[in-house]
Amino acid sequence: MKLFKKLFIASVTVTTFSCFAEVSVIVNSSNGDTINQKLIKQIYLGKAKSFPSGNKITVLTLNDDAKGTDLFRQNALNKSNSQYKSYWAKRAFTGKGTPPKELSNANEMINAVKSDAGAIGFVDSSAVTGDVKVVATF
């Protein structure tokens, strides 16, 4: 019975954890633009190249295996990994755009966003620091 209870608690904890998995879209602290979900989608699909203020955007993504990547593609872009990669393969190999630059972990992402006024990226919400500004969560 005790074991059963432990297992029960363990599984609830795991479930709760995955329910609260969340990604934060981050920009440089100096960025004063209003960035809504629609603009985020346009940016990551290569359709918006400048912020409303006119500043050029540097689009950054975490790689396929990083924490939060799947969740971001699914919730913010409404695309599975395969749909996302097909979309960008189609554009990149036909001269219609360059895919977001890939970084391999949250640390690199925070540093890249901190040091580039035009950068936009995302990290698992637990990795957000005061060095960057959160504009949306998914």
Partner 1 sequence: MSSMLACTGAYAEVNLSGFASINAGKVLSGDGVPQFDVPPTFLADYPIVSAYKEEWDFDPESLFGVQISADLSHGISATAQVVARGANEWDPEFEWAYISYELNDEFTIQAGKKRLPLFYYSDFYDVGYAYVWMRAPADNYTWQIFNYTGLNVLYSKDIGDWSVVANLYTGKEDDKDNKLLGDFFFGGSETREIWKDIFGGVINLSKDWFEARFTIMEYTNERYIDGERVMWDGKDHRDGTFYGGAFNFDLGDWFVLTEMSRLDLDDNYDTRMVTFGYRLNELTPFIAYSEFDQDEDGGEEHNTTSIGLRWDFHSSAVFKVQYDKIEDKSFDLAVAGDSRALSFGVDVVF
Q: Applying CB under 8 A, which residues contact partner 1?
A: 42, 47-50, 63-65, 78, 80-82, 85-86, 88-90, 92-96, 98-99, 101-102
CB of 124 to partner 1, least distance (A): 18
For residue 34, which of 15, 14, 18, 55 has the smallest C-alpha distance?
Answer: 55
Q: CB of residue 93 vs partner 1: minimum separation in angstroms? A: 5
C-alpha–C-alpha distance, residues 77 and 136, integer Å? 13
Q: Which H or E run includes 121?
A: strand 119-124
CB of 86 to partner 1, least distance (A): 5
